[in-house]
Structure 1
């Protein structure tokens, strides 16, 4: 399960259980705040499948997801980005 922050205190929360309200495209997940002593928040996160970026080789006959194409950002690869990253300079890290 993806990690989420507690909306009350900002601490990380962990997935504890899911509800019966689940479909192939939608699910509700109960999260518990890791700071049980000071916060103790329990909240529900909805997880929904929105679209596909690559079509399935074995599609489900009753599910039709909208297709979108993956867009690369204009700055994904700079013109000089042909090799591995360089080591950081010690002076640049302290200033």
Structure 2
């Protein structure tokens, strides 16, 4: 591992909504980590909080799998809007509204 800081996604302060930065991280296991954050607005907010990061599933298998830490594999589903719209054919015939006697 290099000495570069951990790059994390943007995290908002849960108290004021401002941007927060990671101060440190504690590794509990191979699949769980706690990251300590501080709000970048120290004068007005100054909130400090912990974010828990957990590996929940695999999207691409590792070349070096760890059998004792096997995560479930993601199942891909077809998106709802990938199917062609059924509007290229002739319109449906309207139902008859004749009165039944």
- Structure 2 length normalisation: TM-score? 0.67
Partner of 2:98: none
Q: 2:23 aligns with which of 11, 16, 30?
A: 16
Distance in 1, Cα, partners of 2:24 & 2:82? 37
Give the count of matched residue pairs.
Answer: 78
Matches within 5 A, 1:78-89: none
User: 1:2 offset after TM fit, Å?
Assistant: 1.7
- Counterpart position of 1:34: 40
In structure 1, the residue matched to 2:13 is 6
Alpha carbons of structure 1 residues 78 and 10: separation in structure 2 relative to 1, 3 Å: farther
Which whole-Å CA distance do the structure 2 matches of 1:74 and 1:32 have between them?
A: 40
- How far did 1:68 drift? 1.6
CA pair 78-43 structure 1, distance change in 2 beyond 3 A = farther
Inter-partner Cα distance in structure 1 for 2:13 and 2:77 = 31
Unaligned 5+ runs, structure 2: 1-7, 86-101
TM-score (norm 1): 0.71
Give the CA RMSD over aligned residues.
1.9
Deviation at 1:71, TM superposition (A): 3.0
The structural deviation recorded for 1:77 is 8.8
